Structure 1
Amino acid sequence: MAYNGVKTACTFVALLGLLVTGTAPVSAATPSPSKDPVGNDISWPQCNKSLPTGQAFGIVGVTGGLANNTNPCLSDQLAWAARSSGQTKQPKVALYVNTANPGHAGSWWPSSNTYLGVQVTNPYGTCASDGPVDLACSYMYGYAKAYDDARRGVANPGNYFWWLDVETGNSWQTNTALNRATLEGMVDYFKSITAGHTDADGKKAGVGIYSTKSQWATIAGTVASSSSLAGLPSWLAGARTLRGAKSNCSLSGLTPGSRVTVTQYVSSGLDYDYSCI
């Protein structure tokens, strides 16, 4: 999930002219947990590899690089995250999922406002039976992927904080309004299952957005204050050091009214995360 693209599937580059952007990992001294209580995020690239120890919190990828598959090491990595020390205000265990809007190039695209027997209230109207790549069907695609994500093997999914991983390495439309509709569909589903819930430590469940400023602008464009994306916590990637990650806490969030609550940097090939709250 690092800014250099380890979260995304390298074999499936973004559609319609979007480019993968990022920088190579920068080696740095591993921070001392006693002085800098930082967390780590891991997913399928860390399968069968040595994992960090002493992390303050852990963020685990539920998907396996694409929006429609599962991290094969999810169970073991959730157990790893549960051993976090909990030294910050972040949940000891949080989750993230890949996002995309592939349109008809994907393995599945909606053709109604119903998914697996669930009738979805769609703010963009009706997703027509011929499945056009429009706002209504884009919203349904996002809602359906989030619905699937909550059933990939996470017990009590409504008790977690879910981050949406928004990177240009996945498949997106050039029309940013369509991409926003997909992300809104995901947000609305996760809001529906997390509202009023907390984890075992009393930390609030919910949903937020992981990205960089440039990737977010390319994919989502301008977000209206009326969008369900507005005000969501932001997790900013792109720092090269812990010092840079701390500095990024002062930046504005990705959407109107958003606050940066987590920042990320790369050290010795691992993703480290600093809590801004």
Structure 2
Amino acid sequence: MAASMMKMVLSFAAAFGLALMGGGPAMAGPPRPSDPVGIDVSWPQCGKTLPTGLAFAIVGVNNGLANTTNPCFQEQLSWAESTVSQQQLTTQPRVALYVNTANPGLAGSWWPTSNEYMGTTVTSSYGKCEGKNDAACAYVYGYAKAYDDATLRGVDRPEDYFWWLDVETGNSWQSDTTANRADLEGMTAYFESINAGVGIYSTGSQWSKIAGTVPSTSNLAGLPSWLAGARTLNGAKSNCSLAGLTPGSKVAVTQYVSSGLDYNYACK
């Protein structure tokens, strides 16, 4: 799922962002009708003809960065709502959304200087944000980006969607994994405040580098995992048996690449 750097390279197979898996993605051909699969799309697919007959779709709301809007979001969301099977064929929602994430710190175009954002006092266990490059302000930043995603990107009734957090090393992160984790906790807190479901998209290696060890007390613990990295449908099925990204997490979705598009398998 990813309109971030991984999204861009996954869509252009020659530079597959998960090169650690070795080489470019194998072209697995169109999904078999006996295997209901989904797809994720975002800005790299703007203007492209997309397949039909899918079991579910996940649409990116950003334009590759956490503070941007996918220029064809409305078009792609309409495509998903109209072409995805009206029947519930898998364990996944028919249409879900995903957002790019980042923790740019003071290098960002905007960074919070207090715990106030859009009339809300954002509270967390990290304390008071005073404009520093620390976990307290990173939490507020994450909360603010999630607020923007839900209210400024053209999403009607954001509480009705499941939101995936796209966590990849291609975006801007601090070396402080605690601050990065706080950022993602802030995003999760906002989405949960509107009663929306939340999950995490990444790979084990990228997640470990960005977020480090997640304590069981974190609101990230137990969130569903969406794992990237497979190059065939069979590989995606196999990845369902991998460990989730956080304590208590189960792998709910796995991604694979076919004919230059990102397909997804819903784990049982």
TM-score (norm 2): 0.91
Partner residue in 1 for 2:57: 58
Shift of 1:164: 0.1
Given that 2:163 and 2:199 are in contact with CA atoms closer than 8 Å, whether structure 1 keeps it comes out as yes
Alignment of 1:178 onto 2:179: yes
How many Å separate the matches in 1 of 2:2 and 2:145?
22
Alignment of 1:243 onto 2:234: yes
Residue by residue, what CA displacement relative to the aligned partner does 1:101-144 show, whole Å, maximum 9, x if unpaired?
A: 0011110000000012211122211101xx10111001000000
Alignment of 1:120 onto 2:158: no
Partner residue in 2 for 1:219: 210
**Unaligned ranges ≥5, structure 1:** 11-19, 195-204
Shift of 1:6: 4.3
Residue by residue, what CA displacement relative to the aligned partner does 1:70-114 show, whole Å, maximum 9, x if unpaired?
A: 001111111111121142121110000000000111100000000
Q: Percent of aligned pairs with the same residue?
A: 68
Shift of 1:2: 5.6
Partner residue in 2 for 1:138: 138
Per the alignment, do residues 135 and 6 of structure 1 end up closer, same or farther by CA in structure 2, a change over 3 Å counting?
Answer: closer
Equivalent position amino acid for 2:255 in 1: Q
Given that 1:38 and 1:274 are in contact with CA atoms closer than 8 Å, whether structure 2 keeps it comes out as yes
Equivalent position amino acid for 2:134 in 1: D
Given that 1:101 and 1:182 are in contact with CA atoms closer than 8 Å, whether structure 2 keeps it comes out as yes
Given that 2:3 and 2:64 are in contact with CA atoms closer than 8 Å, whether structure 1 keeps it comes out as no
Given that 2:3 and 2:63 are in contact with CA atoms closer than 8 Å, whether structure 1 keeps it comes out as no
Partner residue in 2 for 1:22: 18
How many Å separate the matches in 2 of 1:140 and 1:122?
9
Equivalent position amino acid for 1:262 in 2: V
Equivalent position amino acid for 2:180 in 1: N
Partner residue in 1 for 2:150: 150
Partner residue in 1 for 2:13: none
**Unaligned ranges ≥5, structure 2:** 11-15
Partner residue in 2 for 1:13: none
Shift of 1:9: 9.1
Alignment of 1:81 onto 2:80: yes
Residue by residue, what CA displacement relative to the aligned partner does 1:122-172 show, whole Å, maximum 9, x if unpaired?
A: 2211101xx101110010000000000001101000111000000000000
How many Å separate the matches in 2 of 1:276 and 1:4?
24
Given that 1:21 and 1:168 are in contact with CA atoms closer than 8 Å, whether structure 2 keeps it comes out as no
How many Å separate the matches in 2 of 1:4 and 1:114?
28
How many Å separate the matches in 1 of 2:187 and 2:128?
17
Residue by residue, what CA displacement relative to the aligned partner does 1:227-261 show, whole Å, maximum 9, x if unpaired?
A: 01000000000011100100111111000000000
How many Å separate the matches in 1 of 2:193 and 2:102?
20
Aligned alpha-carbon RMSD (Å): 1.8
Per the alignment, do residues 45 and 229 of structure 1 end up closer, same or farther by CA in structure 2, a change over 3 Å counting?
Answer: same
Which of 259, 266, 271 is 2:250 aligned to?
259
Equivalent position amino acid for 1:22 in 2: L
Q: Structure 1 stretch 83-92 or stretch 230-239: which is displaced more? A: 83-92
Given that 1:41 and 1:58 are in contact with CA atoms closer than 8 Å, whether structure 2 keeps it comes out as yes
Count how many residue pairs are aligned between Structure 1 and Structure 2.
255
Given that 2:5 and 2:171 are in contact with CA atoms closer than 8 Å, whether structure 1 keeps it comes out as no
How many Å separate the matches in 1 of 2:50 and 2:17?
26
Shift of 1:3: 11
Moved over 3 A (4+): 1-6
Shift of 1:26: 2.5
Alignment of 1:80-119 (within 5 A): 80-82=79-81, 83-85=83-85, 86-119=88-121
Given that 2:3 and 2:44 are in contact with CA atoms closer than 8 Å, whether structure 1 keeps it comes out as no
Given that 1:233 and 1:258 are in contact with CA atoms closer than 8 Å, whether structure 2 keeps it comes out as yes
Per the alignment, do residues 2 and 70 of structure 1 end up closer, same or farther by CA in structure 2, a change over 3 Å counting?
Answer: closer
Given that 1:42 and 1:77 are in contact with CA atoms closer than 8 Å, whether structure 2 keeps it comes out as yes
How many Å separate the matches in 2 of 1:245 and 1:3?
20
Per the alignment, do residues 158 and 94 of structure 1 end up closer, same or farther by CA in structure 2, a change over 3 Å counting?
Answer: same
